[in-house]
């Protein structure tokens, strides 16, 4: 098999189905799937969801500082997560200062858990047997 073929199969490994034959580290419970959750897989969106998974809520300013990103970049990615139903945004004023707080939704928590399961299966499939 070509070098890329084995790598492609390893990249597609996720928990939940038949054994991956011919893939180093293939195991019972692994199945081939076309791709990762593209909404979460993008670096900034994964960072947002991960940060919200360990914090009850974070403000726009806190996320921006934590992720070391720009207003526009954070805004675009947070909006995409909102559209997917993975986060909620609450906009309000503190005195005269506008504020936006973000929280992870139950759907976002499930999506992150599935993404992490997928990545763990990928790691198991890609690692040589020990």
Whether the model pTM is above 0.85: no
Inter-residue contact 129 to 24 (CB < 8 Å) = yes
| Tens digit of each residue's pLDDT, the chain (130 residues) | 333 443 344 444 433 433 344 444 444 444 554 478 999 999 999 999 999 999 999 999 999 999 999 999 999 999 999 999 999 999 999 999 999 999 999 999 999 999 999 999 888 888 877 6
DSSP 104: E
CA–CA gap between residue 90 and residue 72 (Å, rounded): 18
What is the model's pLDDT at position 22? 41
Helices (H), the chain: 3-11, 38-41, 43-53, 60-67, 71-83, 106-126
CB atoms within 10 A of CB 21: 7
CA–CA gap between residue 12 and residue 83 (Å, rounded): 26
Q: In the chain, what are the domains?
A: 3-35+116-126 (no CATH), 38-111 (1.10.10.10)
Half-sphere exposure (CA, 13 Å, Cβ side) for 92? 7
């Amino acid at each position: 098999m070509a070098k890329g073929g084995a790598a492609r199969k390893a990249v597609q490994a996720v928990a939940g189905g038949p054994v991956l034959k011919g893939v180093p580290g293939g195991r019972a419970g692994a199945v081939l799937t076309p791709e990762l959750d593209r909404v979460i897989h993008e670096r900034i969106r994964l960072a947002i969801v991960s940060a919200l998974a360990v914090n009850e809520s974070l403000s726009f300013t806190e996320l921006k500082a934590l992720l070391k990103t720009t207003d526009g970049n954070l805004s675009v990615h947070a909006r995409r997560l909102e559209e997917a139903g993975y986060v909620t945004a609450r906009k309000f004023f503190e005195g005269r200062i506008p504020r936006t707080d973000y929280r992870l939704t139950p759907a976002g928590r499930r999506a992150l858990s599935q993404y992490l399961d997928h990545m763990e299966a990928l790691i198991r499939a890609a690692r040589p047997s020990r």
